[in-house]
Structure 1
Amino acid sequence: VVEALTNHEISSLMRYAYEHNIPVTPRGSGTGLCGGAVALYGGILLSVAKMNKILEIDEDNLTVTVEPGVLLMELAKAVAEKELFYPPDPGE
């Protein structure tokens, strides 16, 4: 298991894995219900759970920029504070 904190760390890991033909399985905050974030035998599990910041809420364009470990509940709460609503839940 590798815990990444920055895009640069992810990039370096992916370069290494590619050069050595090692499979990489990304894992967010582990809230998925289907078991899709299980590393292949001999592979690397890349945890991005600590990359959990909401970087920008663009109210004019109705877009958000987040790091990959952001929980949907936290995102919904953050946009609600701006009187917006985040309806999709890709985990269901």
Structure 2
Amino acid sequence: MTTTTAEGVGFRSRRGPILIALMLATGLVAIDSTIVATAVPSIVDDVGGFTSFPWLFSAYLLAQAVSVPVYAKLSDVVGRKPIILSGIGL
């Protein structure tokens, strides 16, 4: 019978910094989505009204889809830590 202890759970464990980094990255994605959702009405007004609404999200999703492989390759070349820190800084 194996027993598990609470040593491997929580912020103060050995995996704590990884947990904090994942939570920070997830929080930044949520903030990004919130900012975009809030800014959409004024952007749509500037680009030509509600008829441009689908084009706005298509362009946003296309930019995300293109940037993910670029940053993945860049993180393979430079390293993951500098890329994630520069992304958090931006």
TM-score band by shorter chain is under 0.3
| Higher RCO (C-alpha under 8 Å, 6+ residues apart) | 1
Q: Which has the higher helix share?
A: 2
Q: Which has the higher strand share?
A: 1
Structure of larger gyration radius: 2
Query: Under a length normalisation based on structure 1, what TM-score does the superposition of the two structures give?
Result: 0.27
Query: Under a length normalisation based on structure 2, what TM-score does the superposition of the two structures give?
Result: 0.28
